[in-house]
Chains A and B, each alone.
Chain A
Amino acid sequence: DAKTTQPTSMDCAEGRAANLPCNHSTISGNEYVYWYRQIHSQGPQYIIHGLKNNETNEMASLIITEDRKSSTLILPHATLRDTAVYYCIVRARALHNNDMRFGAGTRLTVKP
């Protein structure tokens, strides 16, 4: 699987857009970009995923660069409840089938 690089932590003001970057320069053509988040003491929560095109759902938008070497997760109007660790995962068919390889993630703190 391609390795991902994310900032360790970020802050965002409540009500503003939160833009979380992820570098995945070694991504292959058949690998998907996934975003999850984990709020303290809860299980990982699926946010969004994409292959090549930008994606949007009720939670967030995913912007993938044309060369697919990086992506940005956008939370359009961050709230205090969005404070969490956000994981960018590049997913391919692994030796151990279907596992999700979570790295250290970005700790997002939304401030009033």
Chain B
Amino acid sequence: NAGVTQTPKFQVLKTGQSMTLQCAQDMNHNSMYWYRQDPGMGLRLIYYSASEGTTDKGEVPNGYNVSRLNKREFSLRLESAAPSQTSVYFCASSEHGQINQPQHFGDGTRLSIL
């Protein structure tokens, strides 16, 4: 009963390096999301994918790109990491993205950029 799985759990990068955060869900959900959580800021939506083949910007998309690889997988890429992107990143999924359908979250990737 994995739910939403994120890899890696921890990562340290140097400024300017690139990396991809992976997310996969096994609940046959159509909609997937990427958030970041910073102290005192709550969760902020970076990008979302309402269904396979579509992606849209959220509240804080600058510096990130996403790929909805298939129905199960939604990846987040940092092309040139900056210290301001140090954060905890959460992936979530929901059945169809309707407001009466809950989002289910993974356990996060803790990313530090030096």
Contact = CB atoms under 8 A, between A and B. Distances in A.
Interface of A: 31-32, 34, 41-46, 49, 51, 91-93, 96-104
Nearest to A100: B103
A81 B99 CA distance: 29
Chain A at the B interface: SS class:
loop
Interface in B59-114: 59, 90, 92, 94, 97, 99-100, 102-108
B52 to A, nearest CB: 16
Which bucket holds chain B's interface residue count? 20 to 34
A46 B58 contact: no
B90 A101 contact: no
Interface in B19-55: 31, 33, 35, 42-43, 45, 48, 50
A81 to B, nearest CB: 16
B11 to A, nearest CB: 15
B31 A102 contact: no
B31 A43 contact: no
A31 B58 CA distance: 20
A101 B99 CA distance: 12
Contacts of B45: 96, 99-100
Contacts of A31: 99
Given A99-B45, A102-B43, A104-B42, A93 B102 contact: no
Contacts of B90: 43-44
B45 to A, nearest CB: 4
27 contacts: A32-B100, A42-B107, A42-B108, A43-B90, A43-B92, A43-B108, A44-B90, A44-B92, A44-B105, A46-B103, A46-B104, A46-B105, A49-B100, A51-B100, A96-B48, A96-B57, A96-B59, A97-B48, A98-B31, A98-B33, A98-B94, A98-B99, A99-B58, A100-B35, A100-B103, A101-B43, A104-B42
Chain B CB within 10 A, most for which of A32, A42, A99:
A99
